Chain A
Amino acid sequence: MQSIQMAFKSILGNKMRSFLTMLGIIIGVLSVVVLVSIGQGANQSVSASIQKMGTNLLSVNIRMRRNNPITLQRVNEMRLLEGVAQASPYSMSSGTLKAGLQQYEDGSIIATTPGYDVIRNYSMAQGRFLTEPDVNNRSFVAVLGQEAAEELFGSTRVVGESFTWMGYPFTVVGILDEIGTSMAGSGDNLILIPYTVGERLFQRKGISSVYVSAASSEEVSTAQESLTAYMDNLMVGASSSTTYNIYNQATALETLNTATSTLTLMLGGIAAISLLVGGIGIMNIMLVSVSERTREIGIRKAIGASRRNILSQFLVEALVISLIGGLLGLGISLLATHFLSPVLKMELQVSPLIAGVAIAFSLTIGVVFGLYPANKASKLLPVMALRHE
C-alpha cells in the first residue's frame, strides 16, 4: 500500500519521463489489441460470407477437356445420389448486354438449369426461375439480378422486357431478390440463362462444373462420398486424381478459418514484439532511475529500509507504469477499433480475452523488466549509495 503511494509520487514527480516510458507500453498494447481485433474481424466476416453462400454447397469440377462424360442426363442422375438434394451444371461468361440505348458490361452471365436457385438459396422478387422446358427448348429467356435489371432497364420490375446479347434477343422471365455482396463478389449482377443456350453461345462443349447441394449440412460428407463414387465410376480408365475434384464449402470454411487464425496469430506476434520493446524501455528508464536515485536509496537504507523495501519500491514503480500504460493502451484501442470499424467495413470487437491477455502481458513485462533494476537498487550498499553525489 505504502509502496504504491510512493510509486505514484515518484511517477508524478517525473511526469514527462513516466509518460514516455508508458508510451512504449501504450503503443505495444494498442497494436496487439487492434491487430488481433482486425484479424478476428476478418475471420468473422469471411466465415459469415461463406455461411451466406451455404455450408451444404459442393461443387464438382471436371478437368478433362476431351471425353468429358458429364452430360445434362448425368447431372440429373446426380440428383438421385444419396445425400444429394439438387445438382445443376454451371458455366459462366461475360459480355455486353444491350436494352435499347442502355448497355451493361459488368454482368456475370451464368448458364444453368432449374434447381440452381435452390442450391444457391435464391428467391424470386418477380416472375419465375428457369424451367425444364426453357432448357429443353433452348429458349432465349433470362433471370436477372437486381443490379443487372436496374442498370439495363432503370427498374427492377421488368419481367417481359427484352435485351440482346451477342445479337440474340432474350426475354426477362424473372428477377431475383437482392442477394448483397459476399466474398464471391456482387451477387446482384447475375444474368441466368438456360444451360443449353449458354452451351451454344459460349461455344463450350460439355459440362465442366456442377453445383450440388447436400440434403442438409450434416449430409455434406455423405453427398461428397456418393458423388466421388459416382464420378470414379464414370472416370474408369482415366487417372482419377487429375480428372475431377469435389470442392466442399464446409472444408473451405475450415481452411479459411485456419488461414485467418494464422494471420491473427502473426499480427499478434508482430505487435507483441513492440510490447517487448516497450518493456525494454521500462527497464532502461528504471536503470537510469536507479543510478540517479542512488543517494535516495542510500538515505532510505540508512534510516531503516531493508532490501525488500527498496526492491518492492522499484518493482511497484515498474508495475504501476506498465499497468497504467496497459490500461491507457486498452482504452485507446477501444476507441481505435470503434472508429476503424466503419473504415475497414468490418465488425471489430475487442474480445475480453484479448484485453485480458494484453493487460496481463504488460504487467508481466513490468515485472520481468522491472526486476533487474529493482534488484540492482536493493543490493546497493548503504555506505556506497550515501557516498554517491
Chain B
Amino acid sequence: MIKMRDITKCYQLGGEKVHALDRVSFDIDDGEYVAIIGPSGSGKSTLMNIIGCLDVQDSGTYHLDGVDTSKYSGRQLARLRSTHIGFIFQGFNLLGKLNALENVELPLIYQGVGRRQRRRRAEEALSSVGLSDRMKHRPSQLSGGQQQRVAIARALVANPHLILADEPTGNLDTATGNEIMGLFEQLHEQGNTIVLITHDRGVAARAQRALRIVDGRIQPEENQEG
C-alpha cells in the first residue's frame, strides 16, 4: 500500500535549513492499522502531508498503491487524493457554511458523482458513524465528537484505500476521544487501512503497530506488546 524510500524534506526556516524528514523509509501493507508517533516538531506532520499527497518530498520515492507519486502532476495528485485517501484532521476542517450532509458530499462532487447517488452515499456514511439524525445540522450546531464523526464520514464516503488521521482525538475530551478510537477500530475490522498520527502513546498503543519518529528519523520499531 505505502512504500517510502529515503524520503527527505527540508524547510527554509529563517535562513536556516531544517531537516523535517531525513531519509525516511518504511512500508505499510493493505489492511494495516499503523500509528505514527512522535513529539511535536519531530516531522510527523510533514510525513503525514507527504503520505496524503498534500506536499511533495525533496528527494526519495513514495509509492502509493504501486504508483510513483513523484511522477504525478498536480491534477493527478488531486485525483489520487480524491479517490485513494480520506483525511481526518485534528481541527475537523469542516466547511462552516455547509451542513453535515453537504460536507460529506463534497469529495463525491469532486469525483463527479451524480446528485442522487451522492446523496445516498453521504447518508449511508453519516449513518455508519451514527449521525443519521444530524444530517441537516451545520458544524457549529454539533459537538466536537459529532463534528469529528462528520469528518470521518467525509473521509469514508469515497471508499478510500487509505484513511489518514492527524491527531483525530487532539481536540476532544477523553471519553469522546475513546469513542472515536473505537470507531477507528471498527473501521479497521471492516478491512480499511488506517494511518494515525499522534503524540499520545495511549492512542498509539491501540494501533496494530507504531512507527516512532524523532528529529525527522524513524526509530527502530518497538515491540507493541511491551
Asked if A pairs with B, the answer is: yes
Question: Residues of A at under 8 Å CB distance from B?
Answer: 2, 9-10, 13, 295-296, 298-309, 381-383, 386
Stretch in B63-71, B76-84, B195-203 with 4+ CB within 8 Å of A: B76-84
Contacts of A13 in B (CB 8 A): 97
- Chain B, 100-151, CB within 8 A of any chain A CB: 106-107, 109-111
**Cβ of B72 to closest chain A Cβ, rounded Å:** 12
Question: Residues of B at under 8 Å CB distance from A?
Answer: 49, 52, 54-55, 74-75, 78-79, 81-83, 87, 89, 93-95, 97-98, 106-107, 109-111, 154-155, 158
Contacts of B97 in A (CB 8 A): 9-10, 13
The answer to whether B106 touches A303 (Cβ under 8 A) is yes
Taking A302-B87, A303-B106 as contacts, is the C-beta distance between A383 and B79 under 8 angstroms? Answer: no
Selected from B52, B83, B98, B158, the residue in CB contact (under 8 A) with A302 is B52
Contacts of A307 in B (CB 8 A): 74-75, 78
Contacts of A2 in B (CB 8 A): 109
Taking A10-B97, A309-B110, A386-B54 as contacts, is the C-beta distance between A301 and B78 under 8 angstroms? Answer: yes
State in angstroms the CA–CA spacing of A386 and B89 once bound together.
10
Contacts of A302 in B (CB 8 A): 52, 54, 81, 87, 89, 93
State in angstroms the CA–CA spacing of A306 and B155 once bound together.
17
State in angstroms the CA–CA spacing of A386 and B46 once bound together.
12
The answer to whether A304 touches B54 (Cβ under 8 A) is no
Taking A2-B109, A304-B82 as contacts, is the C-beta distance between A381 and B55 under 8 angstroms? Answer: yes
The answer to whether B93 touches A304 (Cβ under 8 A) is no
Question: Could you list some 23 contacts between A and B, CB below 8 A?
Answer: A2-B109, A9-B97, A9-B98, A296-B95, A298-B93, A302-B54, A303-B82, A303-B87, A303-B106, A304-B78, A304-B82, A304-B83, A304-B107, A305-B78, A305-B110, A306-B74, A307-B75, A309-B78, A382-B54, A382-B55, A382-B81, A386-B54, A386-B89
Contacts of A10 in B (CB 8 A): 97
> Which of A9, A303, A309, A382: most chain B CB closer than 10 A?
A303
Contacts of A300 in B (CB 8 A): 95, 106, 110
The answer to whether A306 touches B110 (Cβ under 8 A) is yes
Contacts of B110 in A (CB 8 A): 300, 303-306, 309
State in angstroms the CA–CA spacing of A309 and B81 once bound together.
14
Taking A296-B95, A383-B55 as contacts, is the C-beta distance between A303 and B75 under 8 angstroms? Answer: no
Contacts of A381 in B (CB 8 A): 54-55
> Of all chain B residues, which has the CB nearest A3?
B109
The answer to whether A304 touches B111 (Cβ under 8 A) is yes
Taking A13-B97, A296-B95 as contacts, is the C-beta distance between A306 and B79 under 8 angstroms? Answer: yes
> Of all chain B residues, which has the CB nearest A309?
B110
Contacts of B109 in A (CB 8 A): 2
The answer to whether A383 touches B75 (Cβ under 8 A) is no
Contacts of A308 in B (CB 8 A): 75
State in angstroms the CA–CA spacing of A296 and B103 once bound together.
12
**Cβ of A293 to closest chain B Cβ, rounded Å:** 10
Contacts of B89 in A (CB 8 A): 302, 386
Contacts of A299 in B (CB 8 A): 93-95
Selected from A9, A295, A296, A303, the residue in CB contact (under 8 A) with B81 is A303
State in angstroms the CA–CA spacing of A377 and B136 once bound together.
29
**Cβ of B76 to closest chain A Cβ, rounded Å:** 9
Contacts of B87 in A (CB 8 A): 302-303
Closest 3 CB pairs of A and B: A304-B82, A306-B78, A304-B110
The answer to whether B49 touches A383 (Cβ under 8 A) is yes
